[in-house]
Amino acid sequence: MPQTVHLNKGFNLPLIGKAHLEEHKIKQPDSFAVKPSNFKGLVQPKLLVSVGENVKSGSPLFYDKGSEDVLFVSPVSGEITEIIRGERRKIIEIRILSDKKIEYEDFKKYSKAEIYNITKAQALATLTSSGIWPSIIQRPFGVVANPLDEPSAIYISAFDSSPCAPDMAYIMRGKEEVFQLGIEVLNKLVNGNIHLNLDSTEIPSVFSGIEHVETHKFSGPHPAGNVGVQIHHIKPIGKNDKVWTIDPLSVARIGTLFFEGIYDASKVVAITGSEVIHPHYVKTYSGACLDKLLEDNVTDTNVRYISGNVLTGENVGVRGYLGHFDNQVSVIPEGDKEEFLGWMLPSFKKLSFHRAFGLLSFLNPKKEKVLDTNTNGEQRNFTISGTFEKILPMDILPTYLFKSIISNDYDEMEALGIYEVIEEDVALCEYIDVSKNDIQAILRKGIELIRNS
Amino acid sequence: MKLLQNLFDSIKPHVEKGAKYEKLHTLYEGHRTIFFKPSITTGPKGVQVKDAADLKRVMFTVIIALIPCLLFGMWNVGHQHFLAVGVVDATFLSKFLLGAGQVLPILIVSYGVGLGVEFTFCVIRNHPIEEGFLVTGILIPLVMPATIPLWQVALATVFGVVIAKEVFGGTGMNILNVALTSRAFLYFAYPSQISGDMVWTYLGDQVAVDGFSGATLLSYGATAAANGTEMMLDLGTHWYAGMFDFWNLFFGVIPGSIGETSVLMCLIGAIILVFTGVGSWKIILSVFGGAWVMGIIYNLVGTNSFMLMPAHYHLVVGGLAFGAVFMATDPVSAAQTEIGKWIYGFMIGVLTVIIRISNPAYPEGIMLAILFMNVFAPLIDYYVVEAHKKRRLKRATI
């Protein structure tokens, strides 16, 4: 068996509202949406549909000017109802009214034997036209992969360590076969190995028998499940490297695509957070409107609806839509109220990585807590040193990296390791920052500066 | 609480953008956030929850850590006074109250003037009131002698806050430790009130006992070195027997700046800072280590009796402990890389002892050593970061 990489640095946020391993039947939402902003690195999305047109699951909605072969498709069948645009006519959302039956666009079917012997050209043609391609992410930069590249490795993190994260074994159950087929297809694209990175504490059966991958095991607190952290400990990437990452569900979707000839956008989503009455799993499709997923299952009105987890998710509102890559919805209280001497009074309830005066959560680190959206303080200059270094399990000096981005110093950013990280890897730094800076936004700014330089 | 909230709410319209007193908006916000943790929430993207710690709480932790030094300092000012004037039966309370009577005005002037300067800058430059001065305001009194004229405290505070901090852009941007810059200003501008043998003991209008000398151990050392006498024997002839015994020095029942005398109180502060993670144990430990190593080196090459003073005495005299725990660990002016912290702290210890022994003009060296290393901290970090980058590059090309 592979050696386990033990990570000591990091922090698990013990939050109330982890989903129980049970799937709850819901009425499917009427509305679905595809958001170009879910996909990083697009140059300029160009629409292929207009309002009123009927689409099927797998029908193209738009492409990107930067890579015209790659199509972005509809997750469900139905009618395009609205195209929301923002500043300078930028496409924000393409909304689809579901017809509730899910008709599929036909793609070429392959038998199992054919999939094992598929050519690279065949694989590429189907992947790019079917809507699955944008789920393949390139590192460095965390952008949609370019089909013309040949990566030196593909990395798959088979577990999610973020707060109240969905259980990967549960949402992937029954998908062993298509997952293996997806791996076979991906193997045709890579000039190297596919790395499957497992949680060392328990290896779910869905991943235990997978062949033609190199497995690695990781242990430790969040962000041990982040693929960027894993790559750093397997083979760090530099300026001229190109590797791809992909999530397990998308690998399974690739398998389904080639074996059954359909783009299957269904997914099992964890409904989590302290304000959810029954935290459980529901089955729906990518881009689902949150309203039906949470119907009669939220305690209060002054809450925040987050697509994703509380560290990297997006506040979308109750009528918002599930992000393409998200397998989780978090509902937590809004923190839009003042608290008398809240910066000073001792508390067991407030969660802190630090042990500054009166923050006593460290005495019982496993106790699950309710966290609201209050920033717990105002934004300041970087003042404290050494804390980011304590939480990021990578050989990187985060404070210097962030400062180099703020001062637009390209050489420093490169030398300090900007190629190795994306937002999710520094999310914990943003969480623990006593100066309350928007570190993920700072990092993305740096990544865009380097990409466009 | 509601009452206070309403009061603030009633002021708000007058200081909002476009209103008559809009310039005072930062002052309004600053005061409101002292009473109420603000209602700001996280943005639509990025982290949706944030850690409970903020800069206010971190700074407050430092203040808590300083309280033992402050209280002990008040008592010790009274204690030294009664010793010097020959009152042997003064009570604990009378010592403490007399000391507090000396120390509190200095504290009030330091905070009053300092916050006044901060507020002025916040209004002029329209930046939020920052928490840095909460700590600076208590550090300044603790590194002054109890006899310091209040106008000098005021002047020093203005100099420190403006020249050491605000011109660089406020808390987090300064290069030098603000409190030590204030002290250094007085040291060079008005040396007779902050150095010599006569400033460390508050006598008031009373007359000292026969044979009284306010000299500190370090000035004994400098005198012994100059006269070629045996320093440790000279200490034994001190007018108050046992004053300069090792443990008396450790507990800090000696003349000196208000908060710096007691190593024990500094160590209690150090435990609070290290346990809460606010102060770097690496810096604290390496300052002590550097001072001790340099003391040993002097012992080995010793050509006069000051050099031969046992190395461990260096750790308990003067302001070394206070400087190590509360000044050197200032995260803004210290080295920021972990390896850099070891080097930075060690060099402070080494330089302190060099200045003490080899520079007859300055009997105590910790202040200048820290300020000197503040200037060098970015250079130390630069080389540590360069080494890190080289290592990264090597790894990437394999």
CATH number for the domain spanning B256: value is 1.10.3430
Total domains in the fold of chain B: 2
Which residue does chain A place closest to B330, by CA atoms? Answer: A384
Mark which residues 233-252 of A lie under 8 Å from B by CB.
236-239, 241
Whether residues B151 and B113 fall in one domain = yes
Does any CB of chain B come closer than 8 Å to the CB of residue A406?
Answer: no
Where residue A212 falls (left for φ over 0; alpha for ψ -120 to 50; beta otherwise) is: left
Mark which residues 103-132 of B lie under 8 Å from A by CB.
128, 130-132
Q: Tens digits of per-residue pLDDT, A310-351?
A: 999 999 999 999 999 999 999 999 999 888 888 888 888 889
pLDDT band at A404 (very low <50, low <70, confident <90, very high): very high
Q: What is the mean pLDDT of residues A374-383?
A: 88
Mark which residues 6-45 of B lie under 8 Å from A by CB.
33, 35-45
Give yes or no for a contact between A45 and A38, defined as CB atoms under 8 angstroms apart. no
Q: What is the mean pLDDT of residues A269-277?
A: 95
| Greatest Cα-to-Cα distance within chain A, rounded to the nearest angstrom | 68
Does any CB of chain B come closer than 8 Å to the CB of residue A339?
Answer: yes
pLDDT band at B35 (very low <50, low <70, confident <90, very high): confident
pLDDT of residue B397: 57
Half-sphere exposure of B250 (CA within 13 A, CB side): 8
What percent of chain A has a predicted confidence (pLDDT) above 70? 100
pLDDT of residue B392: 87
Whether residues B114 and B11 fall in one domain = no
Selected residue of B54, B168, B384, B392 to mutate for chain A interface (largest A Cβ count, 10 A) = B54
Q: Tens digits of per-residue pLDDT, A154-166?
A: 999 999 999 999 9
Give yes or no for a contact between A434 and A413, defined as CB atoms under 8 angstroms apart. no
Whether residues B98 and B20 fall in one domain = no
Question: Which range, of A14-18, A255-259, B32-36, B272-276, averages the lowest pLDDT?
Answer: B32-36
Does any CB of chain B come closer than 8 Å to the CB of residue A376?
Answer: yes
Q: What is the mean pLDDT of residues A104-123?
A: 93
Whether residues B295 and B376 fall in one domain = yes
Compute the distance between CA of residue A26 and CA of residue A322 in angstroms, rounded to an integer.
15
Whether residues B28 and B60 fall in one domain = no
pLDDT of residue A122: 93
Which residue does chain A place closest to B132, by CA atoms? Answer: A383
Whether residues B31 and B106 fall in one domain = no
Whether residues B113 and B25 fall in one domain = no
What percent of chain A has a predicted confidence (pLDDT) above 90? 83
- Cα A387 to Cα A12, A177, A400, B272: the distances in Å are 15, 44, 12, 17
Whether residues B21 and B146 fall in one domain = no
pLDDT of residue B396: 65
Chain centroid to CA A55: 26
CA-only gyration radius of chain B, Å: 23
Contacts of B223 (CB under 8 A, 6+ apart): B215, B229, B234
Indicate if the pLDDT at residue A35 is higher than 80. Answer: yes
Instruction: Look at the domain A4-11+107-260 and name its fold.
Output: Rossmann fold (3.40.50)
Indicate if the pLDDT at residue B383 is higher than 70. Answer: yes
pLDDT of residue B88: 84
Q: What is the mean pLDDT of residues B74-96?
A: 92
CB contact under 8 Å between B37 and A373, yes or no, is no
Q: What is the mean pLDDT of residues A104-124?
A: 93
Selected residue of A378, A391, A416, A422 to mutate for chain B interface (largest B Cβ count, 10 A) = A378
The answer to whether residue B47 is domain-embedded is: no
Compute the distance between CA of residue A173 and CA of residue A184 in angstroms, rounded to an integer.
19
Can you tell me whether residue B306 is helix, strand or coil?
coil
Mark which residues 164-183 of B lie under 8 Å from A by CB.
169-173
Does any CB of chain A come closer than 8 Å to the CB of residue B302?
Answer: no
Indicate if the pLDDT at residue B8 is higher than 90. Answer: no
Which residue does chain A place closest to B2, by CA atoms? Answer: A340
Give the residue among B80, B89, B307, B300 at the shortest CA–CA distance from B206.
B80
Whether residues B350 and B293 fall in one domain = yes
Q: What are phi and psi of B30, to 5 degrees?
A: -60, -45
CB contact under 8 Å between B41 and A423, yes or no, is no
Give yes or no for a contact between A186 and A145, defined as CB atoms under 8 angstroms apart. no
The domain limits of chain A are 4-11+107-260, 28-104, 375-453
Does any CB of chain A come closer than 8 Å to the CB of residue B382?
Answer: no
Write down the ipTM of this complex: 0.91
Whether residues B100 and B192 fall in one domain = yes
Nearest by CB to B396, from A238, A306, A314: name it. A238
CB contact under 8 Å between B392 and A423, yes or no, is no
Instruction: Look at the domain A28-104 and name its fold.
Output: OB fold (Dihydrolipoamide Acetyltransferase, E2P) (2.40.50)
Indicate if the pLDDT at residue A2 is higher than 80. Answer: no
Whether residues B96 and B187 fall in one domain = yes
Nearest by CB to A431, from B49, B58, B389: name it. B49
Average pLDDT score over chain A: 93
Give yes or no for a contact between A59 and A105, defined as CB atoms under 8 angstroms apart. yes
pLDDT band at B206 (very low <50, low <70, confident <90, very high): confident
Q: Tens digits of per-residue pLDDT, A178-225?
A: 999 999 999 999 999 999 999 998 888 889 889 999 999 999 999 999
pLDDT of residue A1: 57
Domain encompassing residue B338: 55-384
